[in-house]
Amino acid sequence: MNMHFFEFVRAAIFRVNCVIAFSIAISSSIFAAETDPKDKDFVASFLNMHCLDCHNASTSEGEREFESFALPIQSLQHLITADEIIDQVTLRKMPPEDAEQPSDEQRVMLVTALRDRIQEARSQFESSGSRTIMRRLSNREYENTLAVLFNRRVDTLGLTADFPKENTSQHMDNIGESLVTSGFLLDQYFEAATRLVEARLGRSEMKPQSWHFTDNFKQYEELSNSHRSVFNYEFLCLYEQPNTDTRQGGYGHIEDFLEGVPVSGLYDIEVNAQAMHRDTHYDPKIFRIDFSEPFQLAVVPGDVTKGHIHYPQAIEPILASAIVPDDQPEWLTFRVWLEAGQTPRFIFPNGPYESRASVIATNKRYKDEFKKPQDGVSRTTLLREGELPHIKIGEIKVHGPIVEPGGSKEEIAVFGSEGFQEARAMQQLFAFAKHAYRRPLNEADQNRIEALYQQRLSEQATPRQAALDTLKMILCSPSFLYLSEITPEEERELQPYDLASRISYTLWTAPPDDKLFAAAESGRLSETEELKKQVRRLLSDPRSEEFVNGFLDSWLNLRAIGDLPPPRKEAWEYYAQNLPESMKQEARLFFRTLLDENGSVADFLDSDYTFVDKKLANLYQLPEKDTLRLADGFQRVSLTDNKKRGGLLGMAGVLTVSANGVDTSPVTRGVWVMENILGTIPPPPPDEVPAFDADVSGAKTIRERLAKHSTDQTCFVCHRNIDPHGHALESFDPIGRWRDKYAGSKSPKVDPTGKFPSGETFEDFDSFKKVLIETRLDLFTRSLIEKLLTYSTGRHMERSDQFEIEDILERVKADHYGLQSIVVEVLTSDTFRSR
């Protein structure tokens, strides 16, 4: 059976991919590039004078033939040729030394003309004909859709953990052309559907069991001797947070429960725990911990078959957390979801950073306080006589699986409140498929579902198992895995059901709910006023956090935070305080506030407020660092008198993702600002130009190095546009801390001044932002509109889309650049409502 329906799925998705490939091939051939006649004549004249003696059709010296090259660029080979010419002219390798040389002005004119034409040609070759191709769900959309369909979190299963890494296009993870479907991915879809359905709906019925653990609390190998000597394994102790590289007491497991829970389900976990020595007299700097904050205990899943039980694992979402009491042990209770085979593990999220180093330092610094002091990493004396801060657990109880009144969430979500009914199996399966496919079922859909159900019955499967196997087929169907299927290819405007899916996946990353589905079913969704009403309704729902998170990850590339982390010694707080999560949350809350209040997007460029928690307040050195508590979470804070923050470019998340973790470069950050803030993508450097070294440990500054690098006019053409956007951000280090000079006692001061090619100058970060608002607000807003359209349609905008982008810009300018107005305009635009 499995192979039968798996081969059916493969064939169906193959047909879908063929349609997509054909659509791309057709659409990419309907454009013709336009070229300025002056550029065409100049390039032809330059090549004739300086190149064709050696690189004509008969000689082709160096296997390069330029005689057939002409503008406009109409083939991939000529696109490659144009790139090669730019390389050779920029590096002054062409013309050769003994030939007549062009002037610097002529070199610049040639490079500029070819780069402009290359951009035109790339747009032509990559064009989708201003149409969104039918695309599959991204991994992010896939997991969230399953969580909605089954009404339970699915991150404990790690369904996409082994999927191929998602391709992104200009940081977007939902662009149709990038979402390829391979044979391997089809296998993974089948495996994921099987795991999910069997774990959640196929699990054996089991009466609740109870487990009680009071001893044999073995831990990480390096802790074994001290725990046996001092505690005889009667306590499970947590000594550090898990985000370290020493792994000493970062994860506490139950040695006698390594096999984990027998079936997937809800389990009650009781932990008898106490915070030890939060009032220690040892220097807090040794532990890099804020002792004014109560200790926290959290539960994560572990699987002994998936890796070392004391180390981080691929699947370990935080399931629950609590504050640990100081005075005496107390019972803490957690209700968590565990998958079959998973065992609970305990972590200390705000614990000391790198326990081994703190033990060594304490033994050395306080040795006179111990009867038998020991050097090195020995913690025996510290546990027996000292005041080593840690969490101590004496007993653990596990009870479950807990019976859910009325049936499990999954059972109700899939089969309805009455659960699976053999007599109504087809109606139940049809209802689920309608939700999963995001449209009414046609006769072919129903026949396919019924045929597989009947086949499984004929193979002696029980009715319930036949239904579960049919569910797996539904979850592997192209109608589930792909978006936009009803609107005929020849029609431009999306039909209501496809439009409903586009709205819901933009704002909720999930299928349409009943109200949106009803609006599509009635046809009202095609009316502009009804569409606006639904967009505003979805935006006001908490589920629109998916839009905020997904769009910011794409627009600002926040999902890349952590890809290039800083060295631990130079930025320990980045790890010890889990700064990446706080960095992302600041941007999310900022965006959310502008969205809810319809605030001006000018605030993205500069603002007199932001949102920080205690960790960011410390990083930014704000006055609130002395009053905020971890329990306060994020608070809105004023930046009225603060010239060092404000707007996106003052946020640590943006400053981190636009650096490489180790150092900063005005070029790298300048390119980031141009691409993500101003929507201007600079041309790539010539392939043969070596990477610019941003190391400032020597005598020369970055600015001096860039000036030297840009003395060549062909380099200067690009650097004069890029570098000013990065110079002002040199006031921030790789994780967004303010600096007046570079690291190192003899390093130079930061020079944040600059001048734009258009003539505006700035003296520092604050005046740089003012120039952006005064002269580039419309450019920024236009770019934001384009990014929103790209994210919501699943395709990049093209020249033919620019007219509507301009129309949207004019309308939102009249509405004071409000962010909610922009989003509503984008999601009711003709571009959004079209294929």
Tell whether 199 and 146 lie within a shared domain. yes
Q: Are 686 and 90 in contact (CB under 8 A)?
A: yes
What's the rounded mean pLDDT across residues 325-334? 97
- For residues 231 and 242, give the distance between their C-alpha atoms in angstroms, rounded to a whole number: 23
Confidence of residue 4 (pLDDT cuts 50, 70, 90): low
pLDDT above 90: residue 302: yes
Residue that is last in its domain, among 770, 786, 802: 770
Q: What pTM was computed for the model?
A: 0.85
pLDDT above 70 (res 48): yes
- Residue 501's pLDDT band (cuts 50, 70, 90): very high
> What span, in angstroms and rounded, lies between the C-alpha atoms of 175 and 482?
12
Task: Specify the range with the lowest mean pLDDT, choosing from 29-38, 339-348, 512-521.
Answer: 29-38
Confidence check: pLDDT of 593 > 90: yes
Peptide bond into 96 cis (omega under 30): no
d(CA 567, CA 600): 38
Torsion of CA 808, 809, 811, 812, to 10 degrees: 110
92-101, 158-167, 254-263, 600-609: least confident range: 92-101
**Contact status, residue 258 vs residue 390, Cβ threshold 8 Å:** no
Domain that holds residue 167: 137-206+410-485
187/230 same-domain check? no
> What would the two tokens of residue 245 be?
């590289």
Q: Do the domain assignments include residue 533?
A: no
The CATH number covering residue 357 comes to 2.60.120
pLDDT of 289 over the 70 cut: yes
Rounded to the nearest 5°, which phi and psi values hold at 349? Answer: -55, -35
pLDDT band at 25 (very low <50, low <70, confident <90, very high): very low
Q: Closest Cα partner for 467 from 421, 409, 511? A: 421
**CA dist., res. 561 & res. 585, Å (int):** 12
| pLDDT surpassing 60 at residue 695 | no
199 with 319, same domain: the answer is: no
Q: How far apart are CA 761 and CA 61, in angstroms?
A: 47
Query: pLDDT higher for 57 or 699?
Result: 57
pLDDT above 60 (res 576) = yes
State how far the Cα of 105 lies from the Cα of 582, in Å rounded to an integer.
Answer: 49
Res 552 pLDDT > 70? yes
Contacts of 196 (CB under 8 A, 6+ apart): 146, 150, 154, 157, 159, 475
pLDDT at 690 (0 to 100): 53
Which tokens go with 784? Answer: 């934001």
Average pLDDT of span 184-212: 94
Lowest mean pLDDT among 26-40, 126-140, 206-220, 473-487: 26-40
User: Which neighbouring-strand residues pair with 273?
Assistant: 330, 393
For the ranges 362-376, 492-506, 734-748, the one whose mean pLDDT is highest: 492-506
CA–CA–CA angle 187, 189, 194 (5° rounding): 100
Which tokens go with 144? 């969230």
**Is it the case that residue 577 has pLDDT exceeding 60?**
yes
383 CB-near residues (< 8 Å, 6+ apart): 226, 230, 231
**Same domain for 371 and 417?**
no
Beta strands in 303-454 (DSSP E): 320-323, 330-338, 343-347, 390-400
Chain centroid, CA 57 distance in Å: 49
The residues that bridge with 211 in the sheet, in sequence order, are 398
Is residue 529 situated within a structural domain? no
The answer to whether 751 and 703 have CB atoms below 8 angstroms apart is: yes
Higher pLDDT, residue 273 or 37: 273
Query: Cα dihedral sign for 214, 215, 216, 218?
Result: positive
- Predicted confidence band at 107 (pLDDT cuts at 50, 70, 90)? confident
Whether residues 58 and 188 share a domain: the answer is no
Give me the pLDDT at residue 9, please. Answer: 54
Q: Are 296 and 357 in contact (CB under 8 A)?
A: no
Residues 105, 152, single domain; the answer is no
Say how many CA atoms lie within 13 Å of 296 toward its Cβ.
17
Query: Is the pLDDT higher at 4 or at 39?
Result: 39
Element (H, E) at 270: strand 265-276
Average pLDDT value over all residues in the chain: 88
Give residue 835's pLDDT.
83
Question: Are 162 and 98 within one domain?
Answer: no
Residue 170 and residue 219 in one domain: no
Q: What is the DSSP letter of 712?
A: S
pLDDT at position 30 is 37
Residue 271 and residue 189 in one domain: no
Residue 632 inside a domain? The answer is yes
Residue 671: inside a domain = yes
* Residue 239 and residue 160 share a domain: no
How would residue 650 be classed by pLDDT, with cut points 50, 70 and 90? very high
Question: How many domains is the chain built from?
Answer: 4
Among 400, 420, 441, give the residue marking a domain's end.
400
Instruction: Compute the C-alpha angle 85/90/94, nearest 5°.
Output: 60
> What is the model's pLDDT at position 492?
86
Least trusted range by pLDDT, from 76-80, 269-273, 586-590: 76-80
CB 505 within 8 A of CB 141: yes
pLDDT of residue 54: 78
* Domain-embedded: residue 521: no
Tell me what the mean pLDDT of segment 341-348 comes to: 97
Strand partners, 392: 237, 274
What confidence score (pLDDT) does residue 351 get? 94
285 and 389 housed in the same domain? yes
Question: In 632-764, which ranges are continuous DSSP H helix?
Answer: 652-657, 666-672, 702-709, 713-727
Comparison of pLDDT for 97 and 276, the residue scoring more = 276
| Paired strand residues for 343 | 302
The pLDDT-based confidence of 28 (bands split at 50, 70, 90) is very low
Asked, for residue 517, whether it belongs to a domain, the answer is: no
Q: Which of 240, 357, 344 is nearest to 289 (CA)?
A: 240
Q: Give how far Cα 693 sits from Cα of 448, 637, 661, 699, 753, Å.
A: 61, 38, 15, 13, 21
Same domain? 285 vs 379: yes
Mean pLDDT along residues 84-111? 74
Q: How confident is the model at residue 699 (pLDDT cuts 50, 70, 90)?
A: very low
CA distance 323 to 268: 17
What is the DSSP secondary structure assignment for residue 677, as one 8-state letter?
I
Say yes or no to pLDDT of 19 above 50: no
Beta strands in 20-105 (DSSP E): none
pLDDT in tens, 356-414: 999 999 999 999 999 888 888 888 999 999 999 999 999 999 999 999 998 999 999 99
Tokens encoding 470: 């049919």
Is residue 570 over pLDDT 90? no
Judge residue 68's burial from the number of C-beta atoms within 10 Å of its C-beta, 0-12 exposed, 13-18 middle, 19 or more buried.
exposed
Domain boundary among 485, 514, 549: 485
Q: Is 142 within a domain?
A: yes
| 636: enclosing H helix or E strand | strand 635-638
User: Tokens for 527?
Assistant: 């009316």
Selected residue with higher pLDDT from 683 and 248: 248
Per the CB < 8 A criterion, the answer to whether 111 and 90 are in contact is: yes
Q: Taking the alpha carbons of 85, 90, 92, 93 in that order, is the dihedral positive or negative?
A: negative
Least reliable range by pLDDT among 213-222, 374-383, 641-650: 374-383
Q: Using pLDDT thresholds of 50, 70 and 90, give the confidence band for residue 21.
A: very low
Least confident of 309-313, 362-366, 679-683, 785-789: 679-683
**Residue 391: inside a domain, yes or no?**
yes
Q: Residue 602 above 70 pLDDT?
A: yes
Q: Residue 166: is its pLDDT beyond 60?
A: yes
Q: Which helix (H) or strand (E) holds 754?
A: strand 754-755
* Helical packing angle, 139-150 and 183-200, nearest 10°: 20
